Structure 1
Amino acid sequence: MLITSSWILDTLICITTAVFFLYKYTSRKFDYWKTRGVTYLPPTTHLRQRFRIIDVYRQVDAPYFGVFIFDEPYLVLKSPDIIKRILIKDFNHFWDRTILAPRHNELFANVMFVQKNPEWKKVRARMTPVFSPAKLKGMMPHINEIGLKLSEYIRKNCDDQLEAKEICAKFTTNVIAKCAFAIDAKCFEEEQAIFVKLGERSLIFVG
């Protein structure tokens, strides 16, 4: 049934109406920060501007400010005092992350950093004793020893072009291998260390 006597006009009316309701739906939260009196980055459809939060972070002179990722409001914190309070005193209200838990992969779904409550709390309860002050104190000699290997590796290869990401990966892999498995991964002595290869294979399996 036609609204007017012209199907072209009817089509334009339908398209305009659909666009209007789509805009109203996607912009329904755009006054979220304004109504709360929070300094915020105005929402935009320009993708390049969406991901320049670091520029706003440096420019905004406020302890926190709001941004929009697509149509969802997010709060960016700058104040160390507020961040500390959220991570310690008020942590019970902020434990979940926005990342999606990969339920399709049983192995990766059990990684604490991607889990949501209440599963996250159960895994954390099992992991907390591993990082007690006494355990961390016992790890420090190993970490310091690997730190010396790191310094020596950089000194020997300072004339070459070094990749910071690769060096950090060698250090963290050595630390994890030594502290968690009591294994010397020899990441700084061997370019193709077995422990590194096994780690890469496990990541491929998880993916």
Structure 2
Amino acid sequence: MTLLLILISVLTTLIVTAFIYIKYKFSYWRRKGVAYVGPSIPFGNFGAVIILKKSFDQVLNELYNSSNEPIVGIYTGLRPSLLIRDQSIARDILIKDFQSFWHRGYHYDEKLNPLAGNLFANSGEKWKMMRSKLSPAFSSSKIKAMFDTIVDCGQSLENHIAKYDGKEIEVREIFARFTTNVIASVAFGINIDCIENPNDEFREYSRRFFETNATCVFRFLISFVSPFLTKLLRIRYTDTDVEHFMRETIRQNLDYREQNDVIRKDFFQILIQLRNAGTVQGDSDWSTKTTAEKSLSLDDMTAQAFIFIVAGYESSSTTMSYCLYELAKNPELQQQIYEEILSVLRNHNNRITYDSLSEMKCLDNCIDETLRLYPPFDALTRECTKDYTISNSNVVIEKGTPIYFSITGPQYDPQFYDQPNKFIPDRFKDHQKSVDAPFWVFGDGPRNCIGMRLGKVLSKLGVCLLLHKFEFELGTQHMNAELEFEAKSIVKAPISGIHLKCKKKPYNSLYKKSGK
């Protein structure tokens, strides 16, 4: 009996201590005098995300709209975090005072997770070095040189859609396969056709990162809630077999190119240049100059190629899908874009080139407006790397504090965008985006998306290829119904996809490469 009383006493003490500790942690922002949203035990303000009731996108947007304060204290689990609503403060953190916020807040062990050694997840000096080396690879001239390689992937897309003349098709899945073909070709240097062969192993391994099974959801939630638990539990960036497949794909193609002196205008060739010479060659030079010491390891090459999957696989495919969805809802606008495509191509011998695509300004506005309405990822994240005092205030952000910026929140805010719930591409006409109208889909400052230009080119190309040959109408399930989104997905994914009816137009294919 005495032992039982002791156990009850110890247990009671532990419970009371834990309760006091949690209450103390959850009083952090009150003690600092910062406006905050009241948390719930034990998941802070993201309990609905943890139990898969709401998406991260939805909750962060709700937090943004819950206050008019410039900064709002929130809690990710027990961690005090800060949501930035004021655009001036945001620019200070993202641009002006970047040196105090250079970390994205991801804490993976690269020895355990070699694929986490990519530019997106890197921080500190390694990020600075890799960003400097890779930046020339994403210049307009390099992308222009790669353009034929990208366009080559369009033939399969056109051919497949043509099979559904007069029928409905789920376009998000088809665009995902098209994007996978491009990534495999440009970043990994291999030619696949997962549009016609959806079970291609590259496609299967690529999609694994975004699956919503228990393992992937658990991995995301733990890394989100606690860097400490991420390290303690040795949480992986992705599955071991995915990592092995990607590394072997890189190794085999690297061996093939070097043994056969193969030179191809793609990102993989640039990785070979970086590996062998330490720098990207000039715009017209795609050769490989070999040195004894390798500047990039095989794991480094694999990690940088893999980031194309992480950053491009979902973002480009969803952008193309939502753009076609909105144009299907607006047939007059769809016709306007079609006429622009015809007009521009007449001036380029009816050939799709990097330059002709760049001249399609109305289409470009449609892509921007799609990204405003449907940002693939909702949050920008930073972590404070040294104590920082917010301008014109006494608020000190302590080192290690996670910083969040909602993308959806301000992009739907009527103080920045008139009629924010409507698809109005002309709001981007003549580059009238103001610094006071947030457009953070690609981030901002030194850590903005390095592949922004390539991502937009790919999205424009996919939509252009289809609108030139087909017209689209809403599928039956979308008639008089708003899109609903998956709560478990880390990207803005529509439940049951996007179904559109396509009708073939009577003219020749646009599939013509530059100079051919």
> Above 0.5 in TM-score?
yes
Same amino acid, percent of matched pairs: 30
Structure 2 Cα separation of the partners of residues 128 and 101 of structure 1: 24
| Structure 1, 144-153 or 166-175: larger mean CA deviation | 144-153
Structure 1 Cα separation of the partners of residues 63 and 145 of structure 2: 42
1:42 to 38, 57, 63: 38
- Residue by residue over 1:4-34, the C-alpha shift from the partner in whole angstroms, topping out at 9 and shown as x without a partner, is xx77666555444333322232333323222
2:167 to 154, 159, 172: 159
Conservation of the 8 A alpha-carbon contact between 1:44 and 1:50: no
Return the TM-score normalized by structure 2: 0.32
The corresponding residue for 2:126 is: 119
| Structure 1, 196-205 or 122-131: larger mean CA deviation | 196-205
SS at match of 1:87: helix
Conservation of the 8 A alpha-carbon contact between 1:101 and 1:116: no
1:22 to 12, 15, 18: 18
Q: 1:141 to 1:38 in 2, by over 3 A?
A: farther
Q: 1:179 to 1:8 in 2, by over 3 A?
A: closer
Conservation of the 8 A alpha-carbon contact between 1:50 and 1:69: no
Q: 1:74 to 1:198 in 2, by over 3 A?
A: closer
Q: 1:153 to 1:80 in 2, by over 3 A?
A: farther
The corresponding residue for 1:3 is: none
SS at match of 1:99: coil
What code does the residue aligned with 2:30 have? K
The corresponding residue for 1:65 is: 72
Q: 1:38 to 1:172 in 2, by over 3 A?
A: farther
The corresponding residue for 1:107 is: 114
Larger proportion of helix: 1
Q: How much does 1:170 deviate?
A: 1.9
2:98 to 91, 102, 123: 91
Structure 2 Cα separation of the partners of residues 134 and 95 of structure 1: 28
Return the TM-score normalized by structure 1: 0.68
The corresponding residue for 2:242 is: 205
Q: 5+ unaligned residues in a row in structure 1: which ranges?
A: 1-5
What code does the residue aligned with 1:100 have? H
Q: How much does 1:73 deviate?
A: 0.8
What code does the residue aligned with 1:121 have? K
| Structure 1, 14-23 or 68-77: larger mean CA deviation | 14-23
Structure 2 Cα separation of the partners of residues 183 and 8 of structure 1: 67
Conservation of the 8 A alpha-carbon contact between 2:156 and 2:196: no
What code does the residue aligned with 2:127 have? W
1:56 correspondence with 2:93: no
Higher RCO structure (Cα 8 Å, ≥6 apart): 2
Q: 1:38 to 1:19 in 2, by over 3 A?
A: same
- Residue by residue over 1:88-128, the C-alpha shift from the partner in whole angstroms, topping out at 9 and shown as x without a partner, is 33322222233331334353242233333233333323322
Conservation of the 8 A alpha-carbon contact between 2:177 and 2:198: no
SS at match of 1:61: coil
Conservation of the 8 A alpha-carbon contact between 1:27 and 1:71: no
Structure 2 Cα separation of the partners of residues 141 and 59 of structure 1: 48
Structure 2 Cα separation of the partners of residues 193 and 119 of structure 1: 34
What code does the residue aligned with 2:40 have? T
Conservation of the 8 A alpha-carbon contact between 1:67 and 1:76: yes
